[in-house]
Structure 1
Amino acid sequence: MMNYLVMRRGMKLACAVAAASALVFSMSACGNASSNDKVALLVSTLNNPFFVDLRDGAQAEAKKLGVDLQVSDAQNDSSKQQDQAQNAQSQGAKAVIINPVDSDAAGPAVAPLLSSGMPVISVDRSVTGEKVTSHIASDNVAGGAQAADALAKSMGEKGEVLILQGIPGAASTRDRGKGFKDRIKKYPNIKVVAEQTANFDRAEALNVATNLLQSHPNAAGIYAENDEMALGAIQSLGAKAGKDVKVVGFDGTADGMKAIKAGTMAGTIAQ
């Protein structure tokens, strides 16, 4: 069975570039952007290659535009991210780019910023309950559907499937899960037998996948809502990865691409 690399509209670096540009344009309404203009980039975690790429893209664009980009890593802690949002305002940031840890928790975090008139742009994950200045992301529902098609084809359109979910409360978790589960219903001989969160984390996915596979030894496919979890599942599977059990991830990271070339991963949704 050939491997499937499912490509989706480019977002990874483009979203950071577009976000930085939009912020500069918003500041330009009151004058040209300068090196004194601070923009805060609040990242959910830098323990994920996808968000490292996002940070790098934003930094490169900020350098071109002459903007002082201040990067904060929330380490997947929504309370810490809320503190970082408050600090951004007190430290003189003129705009904020936020990649929420938790979409629901991000609303109260950015509400004071929006009330003060500060531009706020959300990236990859939306902010629940607040109308931000702009939201830049791929269509995660469509991506989830493409992941379902890729996994189904790699499995011969039959068998049991496990789902490794992302961070509860994150919009990307909800949307990627919805897209996948809605589309997989098109395949009558495929059944989702279990789903559990692994918080977008490789090490946690290793443990979760191990437990799920013990409970469901006949599973023939795993859908992981990001590549980091897919790689954890592959580690758990050992020699079965890509042979007895097909794995599809999400994000199109460098490590995910390597796994596809190695034959242990059936596909990834590249943003």
Structure 2
Amino acid sequence: MKKILSTLALVLLLALAACGGNDDTEKDSSGDTNDASGDIKIGLAVNTLNNPFFVDLKDGAEATAEENGINLVVTDSQGDPGKQMSDVENLLQQGIDLLILNPVDSDAAGQAALLANDQNVPVITVDRQASDGEIVAHVGFDALKSGGIAASYLEEALGGEGKVVEIQGILGTNVGQDRSKGFNDHMSGVEGIEIIASQSANFDRGEALSVMEDILQANDEIDAVYAANDEMVLGALSAIESAGRLDDIKIIGTDAIDPAMEAIREGRLDATIAEPPFFLGREAINAAIKTLDGEEVEEMITLENTLVTEENVDEVKTR
């Protein structure tokens, strides 16, 4: 009888333990969204990681993915549209649940988006848009507004009169096109300002250095320079400093990457327009989570851009 009672007691204890374990498991799975997100795999095809802007974008995406227990696979297309298509193909073969696409080129990215569409993988674009395909949402800044902010700043800084140089970005992207359009649309209404040179440096610091050197040699009088991103403005700044003309030229960039912010603190750069890439990466992952959870997501998620000068450089958050 003692053996029978002992056996029954052991069975009862095991049954109670099993029930308690099941209750804990159910609480964890229903109450912790991070655990549920652990099975999610998102692909992020970055156009290049040879640029601090896109490194910050990646960092923002990685930090947010880690916070939510998401498996994020990042590829570096190295500025090559063909490689980006290959990267997207590889990501799709890995069974990703969603693709975040940061296009090298808007037209080529449209083909990558269509490829994902064919495999029923939702697509979100970030910073630059794709010209084709079904896109769940686009996360970016208002590039037209940024160009207008830059033009308005220089109009005021020059008192409405002067000779201005515009260094454009990649004109095969909506960002490059829109920043230039916003800038020129505003300046076309300012009679006293003449844009004496407008040339693309493809968002590249080295190209901008070379372009600015040539423009400086060809023009004795330059009152201001607008560069469509901070990498280019830093290249232009180097050329202007080497020519000994820094005191004569107002200079403004776009993005608010760390080296540009530091140049403003040092008094070498007059201004930039804050479009912090870290926040682009963060909001792209947040939009992806909502999409995969079946929540409604805005088609255009536009983040706020801000003029940065020496007066507010330490107040503007970039991450």
TM-score, reference length from structure 1: 0.85
Conservation of the 8 A alpha-carbon contact between 1:162 and 1:221: yes
> Are the equivalent residues in 2 in contact too, given 1:151–1:266 (CA < 8 A)?
no
Partner in structure 1 of residue 109 of structure 2:
106
Deviation track 1:162-192 (CA, whole Å, cap 9, x = no partner) reads 1111113111000100000001123211111
Residue number in structure 1 paired with 2:272: 268
Unaligned runs of 5+ in 1: 1-27
Deviation at 1:157, TM superposition (A): 2.1
Q: Indicate which of 252, 255, 266 corresponds to 1:251.
A: 255
Structure 2 counterpart of 1:127: 130
2:36, 2:171 → 1: CA distance? 37
Read off the aligned partner of 2:267 and give its amino acid letter.
G
Q: Which amino acid aligns with 1:49?
A: P
1:51 paired residue number: 54
**Structure with the greater relative contact order (CA < 8 A, sep ≥ 6): 1 or 2?**
1
Tell me how far apart the structure 1 counterparts of residues 79 and 167 of structure 2 sit (CA, whole Å).
17
Q: What is the total number of aligned residue pairs between the two structures?
A: 240
Contact kept? 1:102, 1:168, Cα under 8 Å: no
Task: Tell me how far apart the structure 2 counterparts of residues 216 and 115 of structure 1 sit (CA, whole Å).
Answer: 52
Residue 40 of structure 1 corresponds to which residue in structure 2? 43
Q: Tell me the CA shift for residue 34 of structure 1.
A: 3.5
Q: Which amino acid aligns with 2:130?
A: V
**Does the CA-based 8 Å contact 2:225-2:252 persist in structure 1?**
yes
TM-score, with structure 2 as normaliser: 0.72
Runs of 4+ in 1 over 6 A off after TM superposition: none
Q: Is the 8 A contact 2:44 2:99 kept in 1?
A: yes
Cα distance in 2 for partners of 1:218, 1:130 equals: 46
Whether 1:182 aligns to 2:190 is: no
Match of 1:140, as an amino acid? A
CA distance, structure 2, for counterparts of residue 262 and residue 64 of structure 1: 35
In structure 2, what is the equivalent of residue 164 of structure 1? 167
Q: Which amino acid aligns with 1:226?
A: N
The aligned amino acid for 1:111 is L
Question: What corresponds to 1:147 in structure 2?
Answer: 150
Give the Cα–Cα distance (whole angstroms) in 2 for the partners of residues 39 and 230 of structure 1: 33
* Mapped contact 1:33–1:67 kept (Cα < 8 A): no
Aligned-partner Cα distance in 1 for 2:228–2:197: 14
Per the TM alignment, residue 193 of structure 1 is displaced from its structure 2 partner at its CA by: 1.4
Please state how far the C-alpha of 1:33 moved relative to its aligned partner: 4.4
Gaps of 5+ in 2: 1-32, 276-319
Q: Which has the larger radius of gyration?
A: 2
Residue type at the aligned position of 1:207: S
CA distance in 1, matches of 2:105, 2:154: 27
